[in-house]
Amino acid sequence: MPSRTVLLNTPLQLSAARDELLRRLTEDGVQRGLRVVRCPDVYHLPEDSPVWGGLRDAGAFAAVFGWVHPRPLRWVLHRHGIEVAQEKCHNLSTLASVEAASSLLPEAEAGKVGEAIEHGREVSERWYPVMDRSLCIDCGHCLQFCIFGVYSRDEEGHVYTAAPDNCKPGCPACARVCPAGAIVFPLCESDRAIAGAPGEHVVLDDAARRMYYDRTGARCPVCGLEGDVPGDSGGPTCPECGRPVPPAGPADAPVFAEIDALIDELDEMSGGL
């Protein structure tokens, strides 16, 4: 049977307009026979908050309404054992009206009695990275790069945010060097890709890519080399990883000789023009 439970996040900064939006969504959901669970903004909800247990006990959610983009909202919930498909997560900040938000609620079902459940509203502002596990390759670059001890590896070798509140507020640097675009800072208003906006991912510049290969020693998909990235050698380097490109070996000589012969043959055919 499809879930009839909806989760509404109360934003940290609750204006009169936002409170009215949530009130009307709650009323509309209850009238449709839904179970409407309202809680503090899950991004700011402390790691040890008892509210997490209440949300896990609520069962599967048919829809989740928050104040950040759907991708980070989904993975914040995932971190705490709550699985919701990304298409069921909605950013109320981007919806133009109450009607637009209400249209995303499950349809009414005859004979169903709705209810509203509310968990406390008091939370403090937080800033920390959200890991998109569908993209993370567990390379460990963020772990090596971060100086605040935010990241660690679990027993299976997966990188995770072990100490999210160690993160320096306002710093999204690790997201800028993640080769997979798996790190999201939902409150980074200056960069939509870092904030996890739909269809946008961080693309590393040359310096960030070379830092990744140098720190991890990862094999380059372009030149095939691995290990440290040395400094400027004065010779040609791989455009992807920055490692020096080896000179052409003897195996390449017959190829070049064959090309030279073809060029000479074409010259003869054209009469030297």
- The 3-class SS string of 95-153 reads CCCHHHHHCCCCCCCCCCCCEEEECCCCCCCCCCCEECCCCCCCCCHHHHHCCCCCEEE
Say if CB 216 and CB 223 are below 8 A apart. Answer: no
| pLDDT value of position 148 | 96
Stretches where the chain sits below pLDDT 50 are 252-253, 272
* pLDDT value of residue 3: 75
Question: Hey, which residues does 91 pair with through a beta bridge?
Answer: 66
The b/e string for 139-164 (b: 16+ C-beta within 10 A; e otherwise) is bbbbbebbeeebbeeeeeeebbbeeb
| DSSP single-letter state for residue 83 | -
The two beta strands, 5-10 and 63-66, are parallel
Location of each CATH 3.30.70.20 domain in the chain: 130-187
Cα–Cα distance for residue pair 195/175, rounded to 1 Å? 10
For residue 226, how far is the Cα from the chain centroid?
27
Residue 176 pLDDT:
94
pLDDT digits (tens, 9 = 90+) for 186-239: 999 999 999 999 999 898 988 899 999 998 899 999 999 999 888 776 788 998
Fold classification of 130-187 is: Alpha-Beta Plaits (3.30.70)
Report the predicted TM-score, pTM, of the whole model to 2 decimal places: 0.83
> What residues contact 93, with CB distance under 8 A and at least 6 apart?
67, 68
Given this model, what pLDDT does residue 143 score? 94
Start-end of CATH 3.40.50 domains in the chain: 5-118
Please give the single-letter amino acid code of residue 182.
A
Architecture of domain 5-118: 3-Layer(aba) Sandwich (3.40)
**Residue 7, helix vs strand vs coil:** strand
Containing 63, the helix (H) or strand (E) segment is: strand 63-66
